[in-house]
């Protein structure tokens, strides 16, 4: 029975198509064991998981209620949009509902009654998850497709936006770009952003409703017209720089820049027939899981990969804790047909037991020591297993050994410390008089001036005398007539000339001081 299960699982990759399973239990000569493969989730209807935002405020019709006409019947304006009436309202969510046969439900904008001011609307779709497109984006417009619009995409949850495709009935006029078709692109230009005129010309509002972003046509450049040769596409996705990212989005934005005109000119006398109405936005794609998951589920309001290969994160973009003996890598479509899982490895399991805690990808054998050692330890680590911190760094006690933040810089004060090394708790070795973890403070009775120096004067033991004042513990400012470190010495003691000069300054001194000075002066004259 176990053999049968093994056999069944082993056959699954073929039965289910490429990259559908992440691992299987296989029997080899050494007995049964797990085999791992690159894997990806199935493509899904992404409109079911999207959040939408329509800008600017007030662009949705019906508040206040408004009548509108159609291009087919421009003078019979009997249709009404009223946001307060569910039967007549056209809110954004109707772009993502499931349509009943034949009855389109749609979001609708206000009419172009402010012409010639442009009628602009942004429809922004957000998934809060990277998605890889697998089929065309199809936007369905009731009552005519815009004559100018633009598709933009974001790869970073809406922080930055990039043009994806331009659409106009005249590309040169609208965007100063030549009109091109995706079908004419080549293998080297498969990810070019272009302007197309295929979806903007007037063809009767009932006839051609769809605006496409042609994912299949771009895939077909590599995989052939019926996408039969997917192996070639997967090979190219691995090797061609930027090609995978071109089909990856977290957000999409349709910038509607000019509505359908139904003719060459805007008829000013009947502006109620110009507006946007979108009944459906179809986005088909799969969660981007870096080839480390074959399931993607909707949890806590967002899509999340169910990561295998001991990876974790919304996109399986990092290794699980304790599985960081080498750096994380995405799985690869190559070699065909099962790809490489590039699984994260448990501590101590890879590289012939040379553990590097994820700080190095390379080990080397040192012959004369007979040891295997990690090479080029990153993140300021060092040692045979990158298990120590480099000199000038100390161990972050709240981080695991395989954490990128495991080593913290000592940051010793260059002047106050003996060298730039510190002990295991980050304390630097201080020069005389300096203190603090980084040696940037002075001990009591020391003052800071390009290092710590013993106080010359203070308020306690080293008092300035004879009315002198202590300047920043560095020196006494002595009254005229006194000198010495603490102003303890009269200038007259050594040099009679200074005494005369001092008498001229009497007026500027306080009375008490003056008395003392007068006494001293008298003594001086007596001599």
Ligand X SMILES: *[C@@H]1O[C@H](CO)[C@@H](O)[C@H](O)[C@H]1NC(C)=O
* Site of interaction with Ca ion (CB under 5 A): 94, 97, 105, 279
Residues 265-283: b if buried by 16+ CB within 10 A, e if exposed: ebeeeebbbbbbbbbbbbb
Question: Which residue, 154 or 279, is less far from Ca ion as judged by CB?
Answer: 279
Residue 122 binding: pick among ligand X, Ca ion, none (C-beta 5-8 Å cut-off by kind)? ligand X
Question: Which residue, 105 or 396, is less far from Ca ion as judged by CB?
Answer: 105
Question: Which residue, 135 or 402, is less far from ligand X as judged by CB?
Answer: 402
Q: Please state the closest distance from residue 267 (CB atom) to ligand X, in A.
A: 24
**Helix H segments across 447-510?**
497-503
Residue 235 binding: pick among Ca ion, ligand X, none (C-beta 5-8 Å cut-off by kind)? none
* Contact call for residues 509 and 479 (beta carbons, < 8 A): yes
Paired with 150 in beta bridges are: 166, 255
Q: Please state the closest distance from residue 76 (CB atom) to Ca ion, in A.
A: 24
Task: Please report, as ranges, the residues that interact with ligand X according to CB under 6 A.
Answer: 34, 36, 55-56, 120, 122, 128, 152, 161, 253, 255, 301-302, 304, 309-310, 314, 343, 346, 396, 398-399, 403, 405, 408, 423-425, 427
Q: Please state the closest distance from residue 477 (CB atom) to ligand X, in A.
A: 37
Residue 503 binding: pick among ligand X, Ca ion, none (C-beta 5-8 Å cut-off by kind)? none
Start-to-end CA span in the chain (Å): 124
Question: Which residue, 118 or 335, is less far from ligand X as judged by CB?
Answer: 118
Instruction: Classify residue 88 as exposed, middle or buried by CB count within 10 Å of its CB (0-12, 13-18, 19+).
Output: middle
Residue 105 binding: pick among Ca ion, ligand X, none (C-beta 5-8 Å cut-off by kind)? Ca ion
What is the enclosing helix (H) or strand (E) of 453?
A: strand 452-454
* Contact call for residues 279 and 103 (beta carbons, < 8 A): no
Q: Please state the closest distance from residue 44 (CB atom) to ligand X, in A.
A: 17
Question: Which residue, 94 or 343, is less far from ligand X as judged by CB?
Answer: 343
263 C-beta neighbours (distance < 10 Å), count? 10
Strand bridging mode 162-168 / 195-196: parallel
Q: Please state the closest distance from residue 99 (CB atom) to Ca ion, in A.
A: 5
The 3-class secondary structure across 241-304, one letter per residue, is: CCHHHHCEEEEEEEEEEECCCCCCCCCHHHHHHCCCEEEEEECEEEECCCCECCCEEEECCEEE
Residue 279 binding: pick among Ca ion, ligand X, none (C-beta 5-8 Å cut-off by kind)? Ca ion
Of 217, 209, 345, give the one whose Cα is nearest residue 278: 209
Q: Please state the closest distance from residue 85 (CB atom) to ligand X, in A.
A: 26
Residue 483 binding: pick among ligand X, Ca ion, none (C-beta 5-8 Å cut-off by kind)? none
Question: Which residue, 277 or 434, is less far from Ca ion as judged by CB?
Answer: 277
Counting Cα atoms < 13 Å in the Cβ hemisphere of 363 gives 22
SS3 432: coil
Q: Please state the closest distance from residue 88 (CB atom) to Ca ion, in A.
A: 15
Question: Which residue, 34 or 75, is less far from ligand X as judged by CB?
Answer: 34
Q: Please state the closest distance from residue 282 (CB atom) to ligand X, in A.
A: 22
Residue 55 binding: pick among ligand X, Ca ion, none (C-beta 5-8 Å cut-off by kind)? ligand X
SS3 182: helix
* Contact call for residues 18 and 234 (beta carbons, < 8 A): yes
* Contact call for residues 132 and 285 (beta carbons, < 8 A): yes
Residues 14-25: b if buried by 16+ CB within 10 A, e if exposed: eeeebbbbbbbe
Q: Please state the closest distance from residue 269 (CB atom) to ligand X, in A.
A: 26
Counting Cα atoms < 13 Å in the Cβ hemisphere of 186 gives 1
Question: Which residue, 122 or 229, is less far from ligand X as judged by CB?
Answer: 122
Residue 120 binding: pick among Ca ion, ligand X, none (C-beta 5-8 Å cut-off by kind)? ligand X
CA distances from 446 to 43, 431, 443, 454 (A): 71, 12, 6, 4
Nearest-CB residue for Ca ion? 105
Residue 301 binding: pick among Ca ion, ligand X, none (C-beta 5-8 Å cut-off by kind)? ligand X
Question: Which residue, 296 or 343, is less far from ligand X as judged by CB?
Answer: 343
Question: Which residue, 129 or 209, is less far from ligand X as judged by CB?
Answer: 129
Round to whole Å and give the CA distance between 145 and 126: 23
Q: Please state the closest distance from residue 99 (CB atom) to ligand X, in A.
A: 27
Round to whole Å and give the CA distance between 490 and 406: 62
Residue 94 binding: pick among ligand X, Ca ion, none (C-beta 5-8 Å cut-off by kind)? Ca ion
Round to whole Å and give the CA distance between 109 and 123: 11
Residue 396 binding: pick among Ca ion, ligand X, none (C-beta 5-8 Å cut-off by kind)? ligand X
* Contact call for residues 291 and 302 (beta carbons, < 8 A): no
Question: Which residue, 6 or 138, is less far from Ca ion as judged by CB?
Answer: 138
Q: Please state the closest distance from residue 249 (CB atom) to Ca ion, in A.
A: 21
């Amino acid at each position: 029975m176990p053999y049968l299960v093994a056999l069944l699982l082993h056959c699954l990759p073929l039965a289910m198509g490429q990259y559908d399973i992440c691992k299987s239990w296989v029997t080899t000569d050494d007995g049964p064991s797990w085999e791992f493969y690159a894997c990806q989730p199935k493509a899904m209807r992404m409109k079911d998981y999207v959040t939408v935002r329509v800008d600017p405020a007030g662009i949705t019709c019906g508040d206040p209620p408004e009548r509108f006409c159609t291009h087919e019947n421009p003078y019979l304006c009997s249709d009404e949009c009223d946001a307060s009436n569910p039967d007549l309202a056209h809110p954004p969510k109707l772009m993502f509902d499931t349509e009943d046969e034949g009855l389109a439900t749609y979001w609708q904008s206000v009419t172009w009654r402010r012409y010639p001011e442009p009628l602009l609307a942004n429809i922004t779709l957000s998934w809060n998850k990277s998605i890889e497109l697998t089929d065309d984006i199809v936007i369905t417009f009731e009552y005519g497709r815009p004559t100018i619009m633009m598709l933009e995409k974001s790869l970073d949850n809406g922080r930055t936006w990039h043009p994806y495709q331009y659409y106009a009935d005249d590309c040169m006029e609208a965007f100063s770009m030549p009109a091109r078709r995706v079908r004419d692109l080549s293998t080297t230009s498969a990810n070019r952003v272009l302007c197309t005129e295929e979806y903007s010309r007037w063809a009767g509002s009932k006839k051609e409703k769809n605006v496409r972003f042609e994912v299949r046509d771009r895939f077909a450049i590599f995989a052939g017209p019926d996408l039969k040769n997917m192996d070639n596409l997967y090979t190219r996705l691995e090797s061609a720089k930027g090609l995978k990212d071109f089909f990856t989005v977290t957000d999409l934005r349709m910038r509607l820049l000019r509505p359908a005109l139904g003719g060459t000119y805007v008829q000013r006398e009947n502006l109620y027939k110009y507006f946007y109405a979108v009944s459906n936005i179809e986005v088909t794609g799969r969660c981007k899981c870096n080839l480390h998951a074959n399931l993607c589920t909707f949890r806590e309001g967002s899509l999340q990969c169910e990561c295998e290969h001991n990876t974790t994160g919304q996109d399986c973009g990092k290794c699980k804790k304790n599985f960081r003996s080498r750096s994380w890598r995405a799985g690869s479509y190559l070699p065909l047909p099962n790809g490489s899982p590039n699984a994260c490895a448990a501590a101590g399991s890879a590289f012939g037991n040379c553990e590097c805690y994820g700080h190095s990808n390379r080990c080397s054998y040192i012959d004369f020591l007979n040891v295997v050692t990690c090479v080029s330890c990153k993140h300021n680590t060092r040692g045979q297993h990158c298990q120590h911190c480099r000199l000038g760094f100390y161990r972050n006690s709240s981080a695991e050994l395989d954490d990128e933040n495991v080593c913290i810089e000592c940051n010793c004060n260059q002047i106050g410390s003996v060298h730039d090394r510190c002990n295991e708790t980050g304390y630097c070795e201080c020069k005389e008089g300096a203190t603090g973890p980084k040696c940037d403070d002075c001990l009591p009775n020391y003052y800071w001036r390009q290092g710590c120096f013993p106080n010359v004067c203070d308020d306690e033991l080293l008092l300035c005398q004879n009315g002198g004042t202590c300047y920043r513990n560095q020196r006494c400012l002595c009254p005229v007539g006194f000198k010495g470190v603490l102003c303890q010495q009269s200038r007259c003691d050594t040099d009679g000339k200074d005494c005369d000069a001092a008498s001229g300054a009497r007026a500027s001194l306080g009375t008490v001081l003056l008395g003392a000075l007068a006494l001293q002066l008298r003594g001086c004259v007596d001599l």
